[in-house]
């Protein structure tokens, strides 16, 4: 896909991987509108020339508010990057059920709702793409964050099904599976972390080259292990 002049809606684009994706798409001539929850970060992105929309995807009302603001505008690429991480560990007390609900809606329900609502506009374009950011944790889950892992696994399987449905259409369905990336979400983790700029670069390459998947960093090893044995991939959880 030629990225110049493509109209992009990028969720969660004011920090971390999303911010770097926005910058790299902009550098290739794409017209990027990004969402976020932090007004100061959004203001900083506007200073860089981006259109921004403040949006909270932890409920249907938040998603619908974004869709109302977007309206009937054209869209070539929908990039579902917004996500929440919540600990859900009974070894350390009773987890917060409301926080789990927010995580589930943000990471899984919201992308599905956005895709469903924007499908007519995507179908109307000569060439379009839906890009869902999942995680290596969709393959090898971490015990401390089972809610996050479950949502990313759910989005992964939704993406696989959607790709099959749209295989003969104008819409390319792409999944990006990042490893642990050096973002605010992963502050304090002792594991080796990929720079967000490199993770974003590989995602943008996958979009430009019409790849079905971007298996990034250590996720490549997980995908190889999964192809041999799902149990082998899951056994790599602690190392991942």
> Which of the residues are catalytic?
148
Half-sphere exposure of 228 (CA within 13 A, CB side): 10
Cα–Cα distance, 62 to 114 (Å, whole number)? 11
78 φ, ψ (degrees, to nearest 5):
-105, 120
Q: What are the tokens at 21?
A: 């994706």
Residue ranges in the chain assigned as alpha helix (H): 16-27, 39-47, 60-70, 97-104, 110-123, 146-165, 196-208, 219-228, 230-235
DSSP for 112-169, written as a single string: HHHHHHHHHHHHTSSSEEEEEE--GGGTS--TT-HHHHHHHHHHHHHHHHHHHHTTTS
65 φ, ψ (degrees, to nearest 5):
-65, -40
Cα–Cα distance, 102 to 196 (Å, whole number)? 24
Question: Could you give the 3-state DSSP secondary structure of residue 198?
Answer: helix
Half-sphere exposure of 145 (CA within 13 A, CB side): 23
């Amino acid at each position: 896909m030629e990225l110049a002049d493509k109209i992009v809606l990028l969720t969660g684009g004011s920090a971390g991987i999303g911010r770097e994706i926005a910058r790299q798409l902009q550098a290739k001539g794409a017209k990027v509108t990004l969402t976020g929850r932090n007004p100061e970060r959004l203001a900083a992105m506007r200073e860089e020339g981006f259109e921004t929309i403040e949006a909270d995807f932890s409920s249907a009302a938040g998603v619908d508010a974004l869709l109302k603001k977007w309206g009937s505008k054209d869209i070539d690429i929908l990039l579902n990057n917004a996500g929440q991480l919540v600990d859900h560990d009974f070894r350390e007390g009773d987890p917060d059920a409301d926080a789990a609900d927010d995580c589930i809606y943000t990471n899984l329900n919201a992308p599905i709702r956005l895709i469903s609502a924007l499908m007519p506009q995507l179908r109307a374009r000569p060439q379009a793409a839906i890009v869902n950011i999942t995680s290596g944790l969709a393959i090898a889950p971490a015990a401390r964050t089972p809610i996050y892992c479950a949502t990313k696994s759910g989005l992964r399987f939704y993406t696989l099904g959607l790709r099959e449905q749209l295989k003969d259409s104008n819409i390319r369905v792409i999944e990006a599976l990042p490893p642990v990336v050096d973002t605010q979400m992963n502050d304090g983790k002792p594991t080796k972390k990929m720079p967000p700029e490199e993770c974003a670069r590989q995602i943008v390459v996958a979009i430009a080259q019409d790849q079905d998947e971007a298996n990034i960093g250590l996720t490549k090893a997980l995908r190889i292990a999964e192809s041999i044995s799902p149990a082998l991939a899951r056994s790599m959880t602690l190392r991942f």
